[in-house]
A = this chain, B = another copy of it.
């Protein structure tokens, strides 16, 4: 029964797993050069990639005659092609493995992989012949196929993931990676098409590429670290930092539910209604929200950091930014904390499994037929080369989300490199340029199943919390000076500037029809 009780808050002990069990290991490599970087109050150790390191790959892959790349959705084509290019002339074969009868066989063949020379085949067969097997099929498919795949891995081979998701599934089920093989992850902080695109740009601009994290969960061969680093360098990462598989999947699953997709969706829906309710035309409201975020705000953050957006405003506009930031930070943080707890506890992954099992009855539908996105299509179609507006209210809310997300990840012990990449760099350097090209609704309707489910689940929560809490505060127009000072003096800005210095600021020019993004 629903009972009416006084508004008192009972504190219960948290039962989610302790974060104290986690922690960054300090890796050793005899092949690549480690570099220590000062990030605010910490130092972190990274490996710098680049084409001038490609000559080290044969050493890193010692004992590896074939790298099997399983899957051809997003990361699969990008990583298979990048590795093939980087390993040209070394004698190490890159072979693509797909489901027998997969429609992607033709696409892989068109990209030059061939059954005749053994660089294309059935996935379990490719796995059983590979010394390193990169499992790049969708998360949902991984959850379904891993028991069979594990049986096909060679003893002494290395299983590679580009995402810790499978570890989350194994944890929830009380299972482990198979004995006698390495389990490593190299996780590009961007979609597959960006990984390929920036690699190609890297041919003229050394160091252009998508940053990666790497993790060694199981080191059976003793060579897991070198192989993982070789993999990261081989796909073109300019900058590789260490994490754990657990930290990686928690921050990744969390990130796509928040600032990368879910929060952006919810923020735009809330602000769109807010501006319309306050007299803006629908077209203008869309320009001030979605168009502002994925266009100029993204570019300013990418090129010069969060503070450059704030510093670009003066007078009344600066105050408008501050009001919006003050109104939005706490409600956003409230949702972010809930997402983080749901991911950390394993509930979010469990719910994904259940959701996918319901798709037989209710397949996933699209979100793009609502007023906001229909207006958006019109606005986007009529874009001109003229300067697009930077709305101070939208900037305040969006940057509050980035800052809150970074604050939360730091409080939960993630490495600063991971925080900067998951909260900001992946958004402004990899995802948002595509979103700007395709539209937010399109992106949410066409990303991975796990990400789509997360964006649908959490966007409405961001929207409602903002509507209920930030809306009234926007009306009142008050500034929380403490929050603004904390933003201006935040260590995140120094962290970001160091991370930015580690790669050239290459703009991504999305191309229609590129691998993984459907027309």
Q: A277-B371, A362-B330, A370-B468 are in contact. Are A260 and B11 (CB under 8 A)?
A: no
Would you call A461 an interface residue if the criterion is a C-beta within 8 Å of the partner chain's C-beta atoms? yes
Which residues of B have CB within 8 Å of A468?
Answer: 365-367, 369-370
Which residues of B have CB within 8 Å of A345?
Answer: 350-351, 354
Establish whether residues A369 and B472, one from each chain, have CB atoms under 8 Å apart when the complex forms.
Answer: yes
Q: A1-B191, A2-B447, A460-B464 are in contact. Are A341 and B358 (CB under 8 A)?
A: yes
Would you call A85 an interface residue if the criterion is a C-beta within 8 Å of the partner chain's C-beta atoms? no
A398 CB to closest chain B CB (Å) equals 18
Establish whether residues B10 and A144, one from each chain, have CB atoms under 8 Å apart when the complex forms.
Answer: yes
Q: A15-B353, A357-B13 are in contact. Are A4 and B192 (CB under 8 A)?
A: yes
Which residues of B have CB within 8 Å of A187?
Answer: 1
Establish whether residues A252 and B354, one from each chain, have CB atoms under 8 Å apart when the complex forms.
Answer: no
Q: A140-B12, A357-B13, A362-B337 are in contact. Are A5 and B347 (CB under 8 A)?
A: no
Contact pattern, A 163-202, Cβ under 8 Å of B = 1, otherwise 0: 1000000001100000000000001111111000000000
A2 CB to closest chain B CB (Å) equals 5
Establish whether residues A3 and B140, one from each chain, have CB atoms under 8 Å apart when the complex forms.
Answer: no
Which residues of B have CB within 8 Å of A261?
Answer: 2
Q: A460-B460, A471-B370 are in contact. Are A14 and B357 (CB under 8 A)?
A: yes
Establish whether residues A360 and B1, one from each chain, have CB atoms under 8 Å apart when the complex forms.
Answer: no
A69 CB to closest chain B CB (Å) equals 14
Closest chain B residue to A367, Cβ basis = B468
| Contact among B10, B273, B338, B351 with A342 in the assembled complex (CB-CB below 8 Å) | B351
A interface residue count range (under 10 / 10 to 19 / 20 to 34 / 35 or more) = 35 or more
Which residues of B have CB within 8 Å of A42?
Answer: none
Which residues of B have CB within 8 Å of A356?
Answer: 9-12
Identify which of residues 132-188 in chain A touch chain B, using a CB-to-CB cut-off of 8 Å: 138, 140-141, 143-144, 162-163, 172-173, 187-188
Establish whether residues B144 and A1, one from each chain, have CB atoms under 8 Å apart when the complex forms.
Answer: no
**CA A334 to CA B361, docked complex, whole Å:** 9
Closest chain B residue to A188, Cβ basis = B1
Establish whether residues A3 and B192, one from each chain, have CB atoms under 8 Å apart when the complex forms.
Answer: yes
Which residues of B have CB within 8 Å of A189?
Answer: 1
Would you call A25 an interface residue if the criterion is a C-beta within 8 Å of the partner chain's C-beta atoms? no
**One of A214-222, A383-391, A448-456, A489-497 at the interface:** A448-456
**CA A2 to CA B361, docked complex, whole Å:** 25
| Contact among B4, B333, B361, B449 with A446 in the assembled complex (CB-CB below 8 Å) | B4
Which residues of B have CB within 8 Å of A13?
Answer: 357
Which residues of B have CB within 8 Å of A103?
Answer: 6
Establish whether residues B359 and A447, one from each chain, have CB atoms under 8 Å apart when the complex forms.
Answer: no
Contact pattern, A 458-494, Cβ under 8 Å of B = 1, otherwise 0: 0111011001110110000000000000000000000
Would you call A73 an interface residue if the criterion is a C-beta within 8 Å of the partner chain's C-beta atoms? yes
Q: Counting chain B CB atoms within 10 Å of each CB, which of A1, A187, A356, A457 scores highest?
A: A1
Which residues of B have CB within 8 Å of A342?
Answer: 351, 354
Would you call A16 an interface residue if the criterion is a C-beta within 8 Å of the partner chain's C-beta atoms? yes
Closest chain B residue to A365, Cβ basis = B469
Establish whether residues A364 and B463, one from each chain, have CB atoms under 8 Å apart when the complex forms.
Answer: no
Given A4-B516, A9-B359, A9-B363, 4 further pairs, Cβ under 8 A? A15-B172, A16-B354, A342-B354, A345-B350
15 pairs of residues in contact across A and B, judged by CB atoms under 8 Å: A1-B252, A4-B73, A4-B516, A4-B518, A6-B73, A12-B140, A16-B354, A338-B354, A341-B355, A342-B351, A345-B350, A370-B471, A371-B471, A460-B460, A463-B464
The 7 closest A-B pairs by CB, nearest first: A3-B74, A460-B460, A9-B359, A460-B464, A5-B73, A4-B516, A10-B140
Residues of A within 8 A of B (CB): 1-7, 9-16, 73-75, 103, 138, 140-141, 143-144, 162-163, 172-173, 187-193, 252, 256, 260-261, 273, 277, 330, 333-334, 337-338, 341-342, 345, 347, 350-351, 353-367, 369-371, 426, 431, 446-449, 451, 456-457, 459-461, 463-464, 467-469, 471-472, 516-518
